[in-house]
Amino acid sequence: MRIAVVGTSGSGKTTLGRHLSRTLNLPFIELDGINWQANWRDLITYDRDEFIRRVEAATRGEHWVTDGNYKTTRAIVWGRATHLVWLDYERHIIMRRVIGRSVARAWDQRELWAGNRERWTTWLDKEHPIRWAWTTWRDLRAQYEAALKDDTYAHLSVLRLRHPSEASDVTARLSGAIR
């Protein structure tokens, strides 16, 4: 089983992905962990080929869970996945979550990836997750709807969750697919 967990920033991809990884005993691949290098240097911008190579290598296995929304590697991840869990929540839910997450990260200064930490001073940057989630929410939803109509991804078993309460039975639904 190969599960791709997708959704906009703040939707809970990593939380659900880690949970599925633990409960289904599958390796977890955090795409942000591959992309983000020290000093917030991202491979997508500075070495796209290396990012693609790393994602390709990480998803070669027969079993895994990924989280992330990288269009650059969508064909690889979705092409190899057997299941796609789409956290397609309303904008107000996403915004409440992404703001809460950003406050918590800026407050406790926990390491995110490669020594990077959330800083209050970046909150107005157009790439900050709060602004990113607000500005890309509608477009990302349309992109996913279009991509999932494409025959390229007809092999995927798609679970489109419209509210966080629906995530509670995802593990059970996917466990049934393993048997």
159: helix, coil or strand?
strand
Nearest partner of 156 among 85, 87, 82, judged by Cα:
82
| pTM, full prediction | 0.94
Which pLDDT tens digit goes with each residue over 5-27?
Answer: 999 999 999 999 999 999 999 99
Which pLDDT tens digit goes with each residue over 139-171?
Answer: 999 999 999 999 999 999 999 999 999 998 898
Query: Considering its fold, how many domains does the chain have in total?
Result: 1
pLDDT, greater one: 176 or 135: 135
CA 172 to chain centre: 20
Residue 178: band (very low, low, confident or very high) from pLDDT cuts 50, 70, 90: low
Residue 45 belongs to a domain with what CATH number? 3.40.50.300
For residue 38, what is the DSSP state? G
| Block residue for tokens 């500075």 | 46
Domain containing 95: what range? 2-178
Which pLDDT tens digit goes with each residue over 39-79?
Answer: 999 999 999 999 999 999 999 999 999 999 899 999 999 99
